[in-house]
Structure 1
Amino acid sequence: MNAAGTATLQHGNAGDVIAVSGDWTLAVAPALAIAVAGLKQRVAAGTRVDASGLARLDTAGARLLLDLGDAASIDGLGANHRALVDAVAGAGAEAKPASIPDTGLIALLGRTGAAAEQVARDAWQLLGFIGVVLAAMARCIVDPRRWRITSLAFHLEQTGLDAVPIVVLLNFLVGAVVAFLGATVLKDFGATIFTVELIAYSFLREFGVLLAAIMIAGRSGSAFTAQIGSMKSREEVDAIRTLGLDPIEVLVLPRVLALLIALPVLTFLAMLAGIIGGAVVCALSMDISPTMFVTRFHDLAATRHFWVGMSKAPVFAFLIASIGCLEGFKVSGSAESVGTHTTSSVVQSIFVAILVDALAAIFYMEIDV
């Protein structure tokens, strides 16, 4: 049995030399690590290492030898030991970070830049995907043989009919909350009757379509991503292409068209539910009878407010469906990827809906509608 490894500092006329001998293996690595740490404090950088007395060597011992000096400063190694030391040195060089450590302000700026780049890349991909969808839609309109009525009906039921209860309930409750807030604020001015206008304008122009779009983004947009992503992970999308079919026509267009039909209808129901919720609170808390509410609503709520809200619904529907389908096609094949892109689909859809709603509000204000 060979002796345990040692490292000794020797002084000579030609300079200091660290002489190593014995076994430098994992079994004696803890003791060797202590000895190496002590020697590193006593010798200057670049001190030669004499490894002619080395017996056995493994990767742990090679790593400790390299702690004493670089590969070029180690002399007396046999061919096998030299190859092992060079391999460990090369692996260590590859593992070293090539960039500035991920700490502090520089790291924050780096992550901010990477996030901005990703947003720009996602926006560019979405624009390209929208172009592809519009082109496919134009091809199908002029060729009725490409229409997929069964798929359209299925997705229309899934995205529209099944979503009615949750959309109506949410808008009814929000309408009640808006009426309560309006009554609380306006009561101090003796103007509680103007709660009717607050409810009418807010739900006809903004809340009805926006709340419906947010619910559809979380419900249907995520479902589109999960469905197409699961098909992508099971290679069903590749199978569709192998059959000579266009995945955009087969998977995307029925979902987009279904949402283009469903969301305006859901928006109309959301407006009604919000107004009814506000009317119930007015009748119970502010002595504004349903007849008075309807009369004042009819006299003051212009039709243009209704059309302002309804005009946003098809835009929201197209963007939400496009984002949901695009994120589904981005799935790489694992269940984790499906979850990641489903979350991304919901976040992007809600963000885009609110952004477009804000831009539309500014536009309609500028043209005095």
Structure 2
Amino acid sequence: MVVMSKLTIRQIAERAEVSTATVDRVLHGRSKVSEKTRIRIEDAVKELNNNNIPELFLQAAKGCYRFKFLIPDRQSNFVADMERSLMLATAALYDVDITCDLHRISFSDGNDLIEALDNIDPDEYQGVGAFAIDAPGVKQAIGRAVERGVNIVTLVSDIPDSARHHFVGIDNVSAGRVVGNLMGRFIGAQDGKVGVITGSLRMRDQMDRFFGFRQIIEERFPQLQLLTVSECNSDPELNRIATSELLQNEPQLLGLYSIAAGNKGILQALDDTDKSPVVIMHELSDPVRKAVAKGQVDAIISQNTDHIARSAMRVLRAYYEGKPIVESQERIRMDILLADNIY
């Protein structure tokens, strides 16, 4: 006999020889299931619980959820932190069993993301979290997945006019505006130029950050000229080359804004020069922390990957169960880190 308080949906599914998703639908009435399958599941509950009536299971069974997360295949400290946080977050919802599948895909274009979304089976996954790239066809692929019954949240980078259910991440336009204000204030009244290095402006988070940044610089600090954005695919070596070229070829360079990942290469280029522009970056890592502490980098805009991961799990569960979301709990905070609070 299985003790009722320990009974799980997975055990019921194995005994009834059906999927965990089917068991969950029967228990919570989320979609139509054949009477034959319903009886099989109820019989399995009785067998496992010494012939107790199935209704008791609704109060004692532990839910089982499987989520898939579509994440960039590029290597960066932020992506590594995000992967770690997603795996740890499976234990954050103590009253359910969560399986987290990570699917690494290329973000060089939207094709891999479209294919991954089109292959999501709503009977296999109760929710999907995806880094979104604003490429042709991606919005439509999200729409097709939602029409099939897939619950989708976008992480870090959003496509707000898509059919996705929720976005989990900071307000990236506000983040860019904050950087613009910091950059202008740190530089002061000097006339000069500001370089911008990013991964790809097809990623909505990066595009929004640049939009907010440019808006503030043009409105409040017109004495600063923005140079052409260098898109380096968040590759440390490409970032190093782009930074070195800016430092060598732009004698009036007063500031440098790194919008995305790959900051290790930028730090290497700064190590090789005696110039000291105002430098502001996104995403915290140990090398960046040390650079801030010694004054090589002036400020970091960071977001907590643990909070993002836990929020994604809670939101996906809420949509699957048809329950409300606590907006204040799921609002991702933007942290501003300087030398004074970096440790």
Q: TM-score range by the shorter chain?
A: under 0.3
Higher relative contact order (CA 8 A, sep 6+): 1
What TM-score do the two structures reach when normalised by structure 1? 0.20
Greater radius of gyration (CA): 1
